[in-house]
C-alpha cells in the first residue's frame, strides 16, 4: 500500500514569515531519492513533530503542532539529479530559535535522511548542550526518545 503524497493542504500550516535568513548549500540528491523526498510526511500521531511537503521546487518543513514554517529548501533538477542549494530559515523568535546556521543545515539534512529517506542518521548535537540536554532537545524537536534514532518516524513514513 503506497502512502498518499503530502501537499500544502494535508495539514494546517502557516507561511514562512518575512523575518527569515537565506543559507546557500551544496546538496545533491539522485532522481530516486527525490521521488521519495517528494512524498513528504503528514503527521500520524501527536508525537510526530513535523509536517513536510514539496510544492514546486520548494520542500517545506512545518512544526506539526503550531503549523509554523521553520525551513524551506529549494530542490531543483540538474544534470546529476537534483540540487539542494538554497535554505530559508525562520528567524521569528516566537516561532523558532535557531541555534546556528550549521545546526539548521544539519537538522534539515537529518530530517531528509532519517525521516523522509529512512536512513540511519545521527541526530545533530548542538555544541552548547550537555548530553542530558541533548536528549531533551531531541525529544522536543523529534517527539521521540533520544535512543530511538528516528526509528518511530521511519516506520510511520513506511521506511524501515
Give me the residue spans of the domains in the chain. Answer: 20-156
Percent of the chain with pLDDT over 70: 88
Cα separation, 139 vs 20, in Å, equals 25
The model's pTM is: 0.85
Chain position carrying cell 540538474 = 78
* 74-118 confidence digits (pLDDT tens): 999 999 999 999 999 999 999 999 989 999 999 999 999 999 999
Amino acid at each position: 500500500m503506497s502512502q498518499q503524497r503530502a501537499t500544502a493542504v494535508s495539514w494546517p500550516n502557516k507561511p514562512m514569515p518575512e523575518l527569515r535568513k537565506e543559507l546557500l548549500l551544496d546538496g545533491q540528491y539522485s532522481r530516486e531519492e527525490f521521488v521519495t523526498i517528494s512524498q513528504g510526511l503528514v503527521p500520524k500521531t501527536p508525537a510526530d513533530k513535523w509536517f513536510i511537503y514539496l510544492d514546486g521546487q520548494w520542500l517545506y518543513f512545518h512544526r506539526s503542532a503550531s503549523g509554523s514554517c521553520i525551513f524551506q529548501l529549494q530542490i531543483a533538477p540538474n544534470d546529476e539529479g537534483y540540487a539542494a542549494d538554497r535554505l530559508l530559515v525562520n528567524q521569528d523568535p516566537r516561532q523558532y530559535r535557531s541555534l546556528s546556521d550549521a545546526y539548521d543545515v544539519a537538522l534539515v539534512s537529518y530530517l531528509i535522511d532519517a525521516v523522509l529517506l529512512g536512513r540511519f542518521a545521527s541526530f545533530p548535537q548542538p555544541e552548547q548542550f550537555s548530553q542530558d540536554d541533548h536528549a531533551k532537545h531531541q525529544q522536543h524537536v523529534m517527539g521521540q526518545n533520544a535512543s530511538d534514532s528516528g526509528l518511530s518516524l521511519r516506520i510511520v513514513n513506511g521506511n524501515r
